[in-house]
Amino acid sequence: MAILQKIKSLIRSNPDLYRTIIPIYWKLTGSQLKLYNKKTLNRFRQVKWDEIKELSTQLKGTYLMEPSILWLGNLLQRPQHMALAMGKIGFLSLYNDFGVPPQTFYEIGKNVFLTGPDKTLYSLPKVLRVIYSTCFPYTPKTINETRTDSQVIIYELVDDLNPEISGNITNDLVQLYRFMVRERNSDLVVVTAKKLMEQVINDGFPEEKVLYLPNGVEVEHFQNPPNISFDKNLSEFLQKFPVIVGYHGAIAPWLWFDVIQDLINMMKDVGFLFIGPLYDINKFPLRGDNVYWTGRVEYEVLPAYVKHYTIGWIPFKPGPIAKSTSPLKLFEYFASGKPAVVSSDMLECTQFPVVFSGNGTLELKQAIEQALEKSTDETFKKQLMQLAMEHTWENRARTLEQFLSQQVAIVS
């Protein structure tokens, strides 16, 4: 395992090597990377290139999501949600994924297809080429090599470019940002936070070509939780603690662990439930009889866990990550009718008057207590769910479509 990690680190530290080695692998093996096995991909209908070409002439345009995160085996995040939403509103949506062989297409949603990196994709008409700020394999060189006059390149700045998030590839991502934003090699820029929008405009990108588009929510998914059985330990925890402060997402360095631990120690009658994979830390760092960590939970069943939250919270530590993050989970809490508590630096959350916030242990304790009082207020819960309806992924996709229709000729 240690050797594999070293190999992975070596490849990830060199974007050109990363992009070169994948096609060679396919040619030598002719089979899927171990990232996905055949059984995993065969759940989906496989379609041929001719069908993709035909769809590209019938639909509004081609929304091509360049590789950012793998579709399968990860938390379902913004790239997957936006790909699905763009398909729903009538675009051909192609999700470019290093776990899939080139020139193969798997139907994973309405007008949405999982495919592997291949230059042939750029020959389709009306290509909206979406490159995330986390698209590590993309460098100025690789973008220029695959750029055509008919493409519209959209750069999405989705987080602070911070080593706590991107580790040893941060410098590559900063270089990509400089190329796309400061050197104006992107046609349009989409940002997920107002702080990021301010940054992009200050760096000289025309304001009229920048779209503020925060994250969203799949409301129906969270309002219709599946019936599942929990393991014995979690069931006993939920029985022991009828009041649950819940969190789901990455268990990562940007959480405010020392303050969280203080609150766990102070609020012994409250259960603190954490759901999600470890990110760049070796072990779950919190301790106490009233804290429980499930590890990773599939998105399909996540609402069944959220159902047991009394309130949800997002305790990021103060700093640039907190200030520029648009958390999906905020809107997921809203959709579930759960009051939300956040740290005060989370500006994308605190802009909503219904969100409770605090700076430090005592203020966050007070915010939790205030949120718990509201957790039985049916009118307040309905207000949260109505707010979620205004922030669906489909609404985000339609906002993007309207922006594109004003900016580029290929969308009308």
pLDDT band with cut points at 50, 70 and 90 for residue 379: very high
Contact 235, 412 (CB under 8 A): no
Q: Position of tokens 């070409």? A: 53
pLDDT tens for each residue of 22-65 = 544 444 444 334 456 667 788 899 999 999 999 999 999 999 99
Confidence grade of residue 258 (pLDDT, cut at 50, 70, 90)? very high
Give the Cβ contact number of residue 328 at 10 Å. 22
Higher-confidence residue of 240 and 31: namely 240
CA distance 348 to 330: 9
- Most confident of the ranges 68-82, 121-135, 393-407: 393-407
Question: Quick one: pLDDT band at residue 302, thresholds 50, 70, 90?
Answer: very high
pLDDT tens digits, residue range 76-116?
Answer: 899 999 999 999 999 999 999 888 888 899 999 999 999 98
Q: What are phi and psi of 92, to 5 degrees?
A: -75, 120
pLDDT of residue 36: 64
pLDDT at 100: 87
Q: Give kind and range of the element (H or E) at residue 105.
A: strand 105-109
Which positions ≥6 away from 228 have C-beta within 8 Å? Answer: 301, 304
- Beta strand residue intervals within 214-330, DSSP E: 244-248, 271-275, 291-293, 311-314
Q: What is the mean pLDDT of the chain?
A: 90
pLDDT of residue 38: 67
- Domain assignments of the chain as residue spans, ordered by start: 2-216+395-407, 219-389
Q: With 80 as the cut, is the pLDDT of residue 123 above it?
A: yes
State the pLDDT at residue 41: 83
Quote the longest CA-to-CA distance of the chain: 62
The percent of residues above 90 in pLDDT, for the chain, comes to 76
Give CA–CA dist 318/364, Å, rounded: 13
Distances from the Cα of 238 to the Cα of 101, 209, 270, 376, angstroms? 43, 48, 10, 18
Confidence (pLDDT) at 248: 98
Higher pLDDT, 239 or 412: 239
Report the alpha-carbon distance of residue 155 to residue 178 in Å, rounded: 11
| 219-389 shares the fold of 2-216+395-407 | yes
pTM across the whole model: 0.90
CATH superfamily of the domain spanning 219-389 = Glycogen Phosphorylase B; (3.40.50.2000)
pLDDT value at position 137?
A: 66
Residue 18 pLDDT exceeds 80: no
Q: Please check whether residue 62 is in contact with residue 72, taking contact to mean a CB–CB distance below 8 angstroms.
A: no
Identify the pLDDT of residue 34: 46
**Cα(105)–Cα(90) distance, rounded to whole angstroms?**
18
pLDDT score of 155 more than 80: yes
**pLDDT average, residue stretch 275-296:** 96
| pLDDT of residue 11 exceeding 70 | no
Residue 300: both structure tokens together: 């399909």
- In CATH, the number for domain 2-216+395-407 is 3.40.50
Q: Read off the pLDDT of residues 327-344 as tens digits, 9 standing for 90 and up.
A: 999 999 999 999 999 999
